[in-house]
């Protein structure tokens, strides 16, 4: 294990200091844009940076419409709402995800249902989903698919692109189309990742991104709704901005809205960050390549991008032989100033979701016991020399 610590330290040009899992990098116009924001007095939900950041994201991703939000969780909440998910309906998702995915389903009053992840992608598996729907799904005369066991409608499906590795989205959409279930892609971790040259988050009815401080680029806290549907995009903008009807002085809100809009300060940071996104991803992919070669010599599996995909390698992953080896590795590295983390506890094991229906989730359990995330920040050699 000592040689692993030495390798990580040398890769990050850090012989002594603590090495975090994923630090943000501010090497561009961040301070300039933030100053512009403060000088202009537009620091809140009005200001030119929000529109500018949305345009930059839409262009980068190739999404027709985007709506910036205060974080990824709120983006997911609104996407589920506008996809037509109602209280007491069910939403299929993966048990192996960050809790925000599952929380957002609960905000609607809907229940998550868990089906397994794929061994090659760590994200929702289309083949396991099909098996689950063949066993539990029932098409009714209204054209929707209902759960035979609970009688509730499967109102949406939320796959998540785990650690930036794209799910097999074309197959997932094919299965969901057969059952008339809209797909909302949780692409919180996968900005800059592509499945068959299509950016993650742009294949489903909606996609969402997160710009939390630990993501590839950050706005401090922030998120984005992606869609190719103009009407849905207009509704998303309306509902995330308190559903106010535009007027010079009147306050009229035509439905219950949310104060989920991204602020100008957040967006200013985002504009500066996205200018360096290609560089960040290039560096991250180089680091992943070095990890891959190194762990080969140690006989430890390093998780690589799935077939047909280009991954942003947001968080690098090694797969230990078993839980005991995982725990020993976590203990040793964290005690030696190198931050490592296990993957999330499965959603169905959390108190809030323990009564939710769960298909066969053997792959999720396999990853839960073995996955370790290792330091993955963008390495900027000159930055460290200063």
In the chain, what is the straight-line distance between the N-terminal and C-terminal CA atoms, in Å? 30
147/311 with CB nearer ligand PLP = 311
Task: In angstroms, give the least distance from the CB of 119 to ligand PLP.
Answer: 19
Does 333 bind ligand PLP (CB under 6 A)? Our answer is: no
Task: In angstroms, give the least distance from the CB of 306 to ligand PLP.
Answer: 17
Instruction: Take residue 167 and report the two structure tokens written for it.
Output: 């799910």
By the 10 Å C-beta count (0-12 exposed, 13-18 middle, 19+ buried), 365 is classed as middle
Does 186 bind ligand PLP (CB under 6 A)? Our answer is: yes
# of chain residues touching ligand PLP (CB under 6 A): 14
Distance CA 27, CA 326 (A): 35
Judged by CB under 6 A, the chain residues 121 through 160 that form the site for ligand PLP are 160
Distance CA 202, CA 205 (A): 8
Does 71 bind ligand PLP (CB under 6 A)? Our answer is: yes
Binding segment for ligand PLP (CB under 6 A), chosen from 93-101, 272-280, 290-298, 361-369, is: 93-101
24 closest CA partner among 361, 270, 365: 270
Task: In angstroms, give the least distance from the CB of 340 to ligand PLP.
Answer: 17
12/260 with CB nearer ligand PLP = 260
CB-CB neighbours of 78 under 10 Å: 25
27, HSE (Cβ side, Cα atoms, 13 Å):
17
Does 219 bind ligand PLP (CB under 6 A)? Our answer is: no
4/191 with CB nearer ligand PLP = 191
Bridge partners (DSSP) listed for residue 92 = 113, 157
Place of tokens 């330091």: 375
Instruction: Take residue 270 and report the two structure tokens written for it.
Output: 């985002």
Does 240 bind ligand PLP (CB under 6 A)? Our answer is: no
Binding segment for ligand PLP (CB under 6 A), chosen from 131-139, 184-192, 227-235, 361-369, is: 184-192
| Contact pick of 34, 175, 188, 346 for ligand PLP (by CB under 6 A) | 188
Distance CA 61, CA 199 (A): 6
* Cβ contact 235:255 at 8 Å: no
| Contact pick of 94, 102, 203, 212 for ligand PLP (by CB under 6 A) | 212
Binding segment for ligand PLP (CB under 6 A), chosen from 45-53, 95-103, 199-207, 300-308, is: 95-103
Distance CA 284, CA 7 (A): 16
4/75 with CB nearer ligand PLP = 75
| Contact pick of 72, 159, 182, 375 for ligand PLP (by CB under 6 A) | 72
Does 189 bind ligand PLP (CB under 6 A)? Our answer is: yes
CB-CB neighbours of 31 under 10 Å: 12
Q: Which residue is nearest to ligand PLP (CB)?
A: 72
Distance CA 299, CA 320 (A): 10
| Contact pick of 12, 22, 73, 318 for ligand PLP (by CB under 6 A) | 73
- How long is the chain? 386
Binding segment for ligand PLP (CB under 6 A), chosen from 97-105, 132-140, 165-173, 350-358, is: 97-105
Residue 276 C-alpha from the chain's centroid: 19
The binding site for ligand PLP (CB under 6 A) comprises 71-73, 97-98, 100-101, 160, 186, 188-189, 210, 212, 223
């Amino acid at each position: 294990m000592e040689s692993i610590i030495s390798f990580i330290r040398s890769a990050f040009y850090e012989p002594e200091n603590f090495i975090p899992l994923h630090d943000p990098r501010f090497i561009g116009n961040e301070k300039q844009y933030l100053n512009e924001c403060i000088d202009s007095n537009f620091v809140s939900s009005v200001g030119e940076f929000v529109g500018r950041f949305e345009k930059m994201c839409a262009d980068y991703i190739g999404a027709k419409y985007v709506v910036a939000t205060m974080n990824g969780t709120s983006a997911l909440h609104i996407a589920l709402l506008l996809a037509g998910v109602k209280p007491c309906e069910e939403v299929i998702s993966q048990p192996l995800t960050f809790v925000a995915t599952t929380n957002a389903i609960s905000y609607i009053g809907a229940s998550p249902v868990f089906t397994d992840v794929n061994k090659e992608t760590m994200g929702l598996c289309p083949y396991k989903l099909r098996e689950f729907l063949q066993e539990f799904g029932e098409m009714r005369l209204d054209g929707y698919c209902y759960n035979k066991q609970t009688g509730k409608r499967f109102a949406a499906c939320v796959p998540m692109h785990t650690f930036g590795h794209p799910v097999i989205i074309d197959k997932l959409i094919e299965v969901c189309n057969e059952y008339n279930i809209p797909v909302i892609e949780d692409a919180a971790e996968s900005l800059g990742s592509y499945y068959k040259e299509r950016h993650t988050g742009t294949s489903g009815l909606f996609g969402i991104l997160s710009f939390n401080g630990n993501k590839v680029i950050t706005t401090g806290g922030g998120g984005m709704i992606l869609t190719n549907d103009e009407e849905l995009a207009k509704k998303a903008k309306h509902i995330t901005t308190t559903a106010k009807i535009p007027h010079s002085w009147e306050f009229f809100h035509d439905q219950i809205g949310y104060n989920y809009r991204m602020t100008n300060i957040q967006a200013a940071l985002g504009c500066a960050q996205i200018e360096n996104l290609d560089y960040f991803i290039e560096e991250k992919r180089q680091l992943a390549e070095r990890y891959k070669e190194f762990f080969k010599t140690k006989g430890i599996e390093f998780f690589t991008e799935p077939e047909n995909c280009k991954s942003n390698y947001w968080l690098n992953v090694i797969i230990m032989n078993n839980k005991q080896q995982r725990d020993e590795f976590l203990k040793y590295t964290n005690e030696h100033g190198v931050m490592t983390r296990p993957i999330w506890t499965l959603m169905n094991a959390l108190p809030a979701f323990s009564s939710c229906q769960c298909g066969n989730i053997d792959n999720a359990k396999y990853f839960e016991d073995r996955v370790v995330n290792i330091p993955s920040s963008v390495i900027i050699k000159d930055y460290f020399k200063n």
